[in-house]
Amino acid sequence: MSLRSVKPQHETRTRILDAAEELFMLHGFEGTSMRQLTAKAGVNLAAVNYHFGSKDALIEAVFRRRLDPMNAARIAALDELEAAGRPPGPDTIIRAFVGEGLRMIEDVKSGGRNFIRLLGRTYTEPAKPIRVLIGQLYAPAMARYKAAFERALPQMPRDELVWRMHFMFGTLAYTLAATDTVQLIAGCKPEDRYDARLLEERLTAFLAAGLTAPLKTVVRKAA
Amino acid sequence: MSLRSVKPQHETRTRILDAAEELFMLHGFEGTSMRQLTAKAGVNLAAVNYHFGSKDALIEAVFRRRLDPMNAARIAALDELEAAGRPPGPDTIIRAFVGEGLRMIEDVKSGGRNFIRLLGRTYTEPAKPIRVLIGQLYAPAMARYKAAFERALPQMPRDELVWRMHFMFGTLAYTLAATDTVQLIAGCKPEDRYDARLLEERLTAFLAAGLTAPLKTVVRKAA
DNA sequence: CTAGCATTCAAACGTTCGTTTGAATGTGAG
DNA sequence: CTCACATTCAAACGAACGTTTGAATGCTAG
């Protein structure tokens, strides 16, 4: 037992997780069959049930593998910000949150990009158990960032802040998930979408402006 | 033929469309079976194939029934704005687009609310044919609003505008679709979400600020 | 070398899926 | 009344689904 050779210890598990990540992103959960999935992974049909127990358990494992480290990194980034200069501004907090997501998109080799796009799609997944799981995995990071925003924007009412955070997560999720709409509005090379540096600038500018928008908007008619 | 009694002419069709709208919203397309669907609609199992031809054709019909009028209303609202005072400002244009979507959410009786939430989810639907259909149905309105924004923001580079429009549609889609995340961030009565008037104010303020954010964001570190 | 164990494999399980069929039903025109 | 047509219905179709099984396989410790 001790000092075991650990080499391909869980190679089959990893192959399954990688294939699942990509196929779920392409065809959804119900649209991906175990036969497609195991064929792509190059493993036996029964391997998923042997290693994970069921298809649902596999879905959960796909999310846990990526989401736990990513949100831990988000919390760590916030810790670092708050340890340095006193209170980080809203745009700095936004950049920390968005940056960790985009970091994973650049990580093409290990499939992080597949996962990020899958994640964006899953925010609006109809199936309830999946959303509940996502909620649980996000909750700690969510609470920390909410507190950080409250500190950075003390004058903003709590319910208004909640809504604006909601809008922000929506923008992020959609940006990562919806490849097609931007091409629908104007011709745009898909490659351009993942110049992560530029995208981070654009997203942060947009979100920071929205988050700190004037509070009592007086509706004024044109001219 | 002429002067036919038209009473329940397509009652079965309508019942199917309504049931499909709700079940697709709750469980997704693949998660909704024809047996559930026809049971909820109170029609025979074979009715969908008789009236629509197939499940996929039914999905398309569900979208066409709502999307064509909604986007026509959006274009009409923009026409009216441009016919009145000269160039409508960005926030006015945003309000016109968002308003038509929220108008449908208030329409609980006839199921518009179900559809809007279904629509939000479908922007990120994995299945490709559905996204292509959505794209086609949106294209005319999209082109008109893009032109309007270009006129309202002549100093903004075209590619930057495309991205910001992308962000805006993302926020809207997600806000309409993701019921749970806002409750995840902070306790929030689901009823509050659809005070459409208040939501329109909040969304418009957020989006207008994001759309008109300063262009060359100088990255400044905290303090 | 051998026994034990984790893993892989081909095959089959029962269920549910979307769709099709052909007879029953009701309605409107001649 | 009667025929023709549109619609509804119960039943069944083959295919594909997720899962289970029990034998084969390969590695490791003794």
Nearest beta carbon to residue A173 from set B86, B174, B203: B174
**CB A221 to CB B85 under 8 A?**
yes
Using pLDDT thresholds of 50, 70 and 90, give the confidence band for residue A217: very low
- Residue A29 is given by DSSP the state S
In order of A163, A223, B20, B52, the CA distances from B56 in angstroms are 36, 47, 11, 9
pLDDT, mean of residues A118-142: 86
pLDDT at A187 > cutoff 60:
no
Strand D nucleotides within 7 Å of a protein CB: 7-12, 16-22, 27-29
Q: Nearest Cα to B173, choosing from A186, A132, A166?
A: A166
Q: What is the DSSP string of A61-90?
A: HHHHHHHHHHHHHHHHHHHHHHHSSSSPPH
| Chain A CB contacts of B27 below 8 Å | 126-127
By the 8 A CB rule, do A95 and A204 touch? Answer: yes
Distance in angstroms, CA of A45 to C1' of C12? 13
The per-residue pLDDT for B221 is 41
Distance CA B50, CA B58 (A): 11
Burial-class residue B219 by CB neighbours within 10 Å (0-12, 13-18, 19+): exposed
Q: Taking 90 as the threshold, does the pLDDT of residue A5 lie above it?
A: no
Among B162, B182, B206, beta carbon nearest to A186: B162
What pLDDT is recorded for position A191?
55
| pLDDT, greater one: A223 or A59 | A59
**Neighboring chain B residues of A26 at a CB cutoff of 8 Å:** 126
Is residue A214 packed enough to be buried (19+ CB in 10 Å), middle (13-18) or exposed (0-12)?
Answer: exposed
Confidence at residue A219, expressed as pLDDT on a 0 to 100 scale: 44
Query: Which pLDDT value is given to residue B187?
Result: 56
Q: What is the pLDDT of residue A82?
A: 93
pLDDT given at position B3: 33
Q: Is the CB of A142 less than 8 angstroms away from the CB of B184?
A: yes
Q: Is the CB of B56 under 7 A from strand C?
A: yes
- Average pLDDT, integer, range A123-129: 79
Residue B222 has a pLDDT of 38
- Give the list of residues 6+ apart from residue B1 with CB closer than 8 angstroms, or none: none
DSSP A75-141: HHHHHHHHHSSSSPPHHHHHHHHHHHHHHHHH-TTTTHHHHHHHHHHHTT-S-HHHHHHHHHHHHHH
Q: How far apart are CA A133 and CA B20, in angstroms?
A: 26
Residue-level pLDDT, tens digit, chain B, 223 residues:
333 333 356 889 999 999 999 999 999 999 999 999 999 999 999 999 999 999 999 999 999 999 999 999 999 999 999 998 778 999 999 999 999 888 887 777 778 888 988 888 888 777 778 888 888 898 899 999 999 999 999 999 998 998 999 899 889 988 888 766 666 665 555 555 567 788 889 999 999 999 999 986 444 443 3
Which of A86, A158, A174, A188 best tests the B interface by mutation, with the highest count of B CBs <10 A? A174
- Split at pLDDT 50, 70, 90, the class of A205 is very high
% pLDDT > 70, chain A: 85
